Structure 1
């Protein structure tokens, strides 16, 4: 392989390793860095400089976020499959070893059985030959001949040997059966151990997932704490600014030291409780109020003449609660359509939910903060954006 293609292949392998290690937290860290750079560009050249670029960046970050989520899920599945494959391979190796050992033992037993069976067949054939000879001898001679004691001894020795070989084979069969039972018991123990290991690995994976969730919640809490700390610092700076303004105003007032006459009152124009009417204006207002009350009583008398008794009593009770009507009352149509306020729409209505991703919420918050940067308060740090991105809730973010 040429050197150029070898280097390209190595770079591709390194890139694949890096992609396998990317997580959702890394994606949001990248988004935070991009947000900082965008803030710098907005401060230098304005928001129009990044308006056309941001949709492409957001789409790329959303795609990267989806790939990171799929990557984490595939990594967990890959680890589970690898553990299952290793377990199956170990089981296969153990079964192959046990089968090979068992086949060797069976071959040894069969070989021994063949040799013993050959010996027994040879013995049986010899005995049959002797029986034929005896039958032939018995048929030819009228008087039975006596068997020599040497043949009787040989036959008894042969029978003893046969009995001993049979006992020996029985003992060997019992030993093999016992060994086979021990092997079966070992196999059962190995199976229970494998089951225990699978359960422990499953429990460890579950604990790993819970630890990952705890890490994410800790990141969220850390971001919340940072946001609270920044809000407190911003409030402290605002209070310090107000304190400086108040001290400056006090110094200006102390320097001016204007003396007002004792027979005149000074009012603050921004005070909502300052006096606004003179005595003559108050008298006119009270006089107008009395005239309106008299007019209300006249209208009540007219309504009593035109309406039934029950309706007049109910209307009179209603009018007693009103001090000053804004316009003269008119007879109410009993068949008029009922009107009233529209029903209250809940905040968690399905049509009010937003389907935006965490990256879009992230940059929406970023531009909302950059647009409000002209105020006297300091700009909020991008840890707020990181917190919002990590939380990834479905609630809409106000712009």
Structure 2
């Protein structure tokens, strides 16, 4: 889920929607469909559900495409920024290089201007040395030479200072250029590191999105299976209630028939033996002890709940067989007629015990528990068989899929939206309003056992 705040997926702007938000919207719509179906019935949503599923799948595809485009746009902007920084640094480096070239040109021009003067001074020095050797030096000439030499020293000193200053400037410019080159190298290394980090983050985001989709699909499957189990349990509880009512009615009818038969037999014998018996003495007994535990406890709701508390999904075949057994017993009791009634009147307690149920309540509960466990195992095996059949069909079609171009986002793996909506439209399928719809694939896979 998105952790950007407490804002729900329906309140987010369209540009900030993600795939997880689309799945949250689908879950909210599924709950709303369930509420509408529980309140108004299935007919009001028969034509709407497939359209809503299709719209949600298209929204999922658009959001996935928009997220990929947004990430690519961010990376493109980052690349443009790095390129701009690199071009600015190269432009600055070229500008510094031009400044250094200008300084060097100025220095060379000054040197070229000073070289003729130095040559002239050297020639003058040679001439003066020759003149000194040829003629004696006077005091005035010495003063003139000292004045000229002092002037030449000042000029030479000035030139040397200028040359040293220019050399210092050149060294400073070289050092600054070296620092700029080091900064450029460091920024390039940082750019490569940022690119690697972006690639790592994109890979992790892809893995997390795949895990989120898998978890959402698993949650949708569990919700659909839970809804299916609840509906099946409700239907079976209704069936159990109906059958228990039928059983109580049958037991009451059989009891009434037995009471009437026994009363007629006893009244005939009493009239034959003592015709002067008073009406109060000849009256048949109004109460007869029931001979079945179902007759005794069939009207007690607590007894029925205890009998069927472990049987949350009874089999219809076993219920029909139990019903047939009770009907056969009722027919046999009716065929026995008055002879059986006389034998029952003359029988003692051992004969009455033989008419009691042959199984105890604990044995009946054990049989029902064992039956439920076997049904659960059969259901698990059927699910495994359907899963392996789907895997085999995918393996058979895999060479053709590899040869074909990759499908678009809308026709990729089965979306979890259909599984979320499936929990809301199960009453429509159970009522037969929606049949073989290709957009409702989980219905055919999670059908009743």
TM-score calculated relative to the size of structure 2:
0.46
Q: Distance in 2 between matches of 1:19 and 1:233?
A: 37
Shift of 1:230: 1.2
Note closer, same or farther for the CA distance 1:362–1:89 as it changes in structure 2 (3 Å cut). Answer: same
User: 2:269 maps to what in 1?
Assistant: none
Structure 1's 93 and 221: CA in aligned 2 closer, same or farther, altered over 3 A?
farther
Asked if residue 107 in structure 1 is aligned to residue 102 in structure 2, the reply is no
| 1:197 shift after superposition | 1.9
Deviation string for 1:38-59 (max 9, x for gaps)?
9899944796xx4xx9998888
- Whether the 8 Å contact between 2:17 and 2:63 is mirrored in structure 1 is yes
Match of 1:92 among 87, 94, 98: 87
Which residue of the partner structure matches residue 350 of structure 1? 397
* Shift in CA distance, 233/372, structure 1 to aligned 2, threshold 3 Å: closer
> Counterparts in 2 of 1:253-272, with a 5 A limit?
253-256=250-253, 258=255, 270=324
Q: Unaligned regions of 5+ residues in structure 2, if any?
A: 1-11, 262-320, 329-388, 402-406
Q: What is the rounded CA distance, in whole Å, between the counterparts of 1:371 and 1:187 in structure 2?
A: 68
1:316-374 deviations in whole A, cap 9, x for unaligned? xxxxxxxxxxxxxxxxxxxxxxxxxxxx99644439x9999558x95997989634315
* Residue in structure 2 matched with residue 81 of structure 1 by the alignment: 76
Q: Which residue in 1 is equivalent to 2:66?
A: 71
Q: Contact between 1:27 and 1:65, CA under 8 Å: does it hold in 2?
A: yes
- What displacement does 1:185 show? 1.9
Structure 1 match to 2:223? 226
Specify whether residues 21 and 396 from structure 1 end up closer, same or farther in structure 2 by C-alpha distance, changes over 3 A only.
farther
Shift in Å at residue 120 of structure 1?
A: 4.1
CA deviations over 1:272-301 (Å, ceiling 9, x no partner): xx9xxxxxxxxxxxxxxxxxxxxxxxxxxx
Tell me how far apart the structure 2 counterparts of residues 388 and 23 of structure 1 sit (CA, whole Å): 24
Q: Distance in 2 between matches of 1:248 and 1:129?
A: 139
Residue 370 (structure 1) aligns with = 428
Cα distance in 1 between the residues matched to 2:29 and 2:440: 10
Cα distance, 1:84–1:386 mapped onto 2, change above 3 Å: farther
Structure 1 CA distance for aligned equivalents of residues 227 and 55 of structure 2: 30
Q: Distance in 1 between matches of 2:446 and 2:223?
A: 19
**Residues in 2 aligned to 1:371 and 1:25: alpha-carbon distance in whole angstroms:** 28
Q: Does 1:125 align with 2:116?
A: yes
Q: Which secondary structure state, in structure 2, belongs to the residue aligned with residue 372 of structure 1?
A: helix
1:306-325 equivalences under 5 Å are none
Which ranges in structure 1 are unaligned for 5 or more consecutive residues? 1-16, 262-266, 275-343, 380-384, 390-394
Q: State whether residues 24 and 65 of structure 1, in contact with CA within 8 Å, keep that contact through their aligned partners in structure 2.
A: yes
CA 221–59 in structure 1, closer or farther in 2 if over 3 Å, else same: closer
How many aligned positions are there?
A: 285
Distance 1:398 1:240 in 2: 19
Q: Does 1:216 align with 2:274?
A: no
**CA displacement at 1:30 relative to structure 2:** 6.6
For the structure 1 residues 174 and 112, does the alpha-carbon distance in structure 2 shift closer, same or farther, using more than 3 Å as the test?
closer
Q: Would the aligned equivalents of 1:31 and 1:61 in 2 still touch at CA under 8 Å?
A: no
1:248 aligned partner: 245
The structure whose residues are more often helix, as a share, is 2
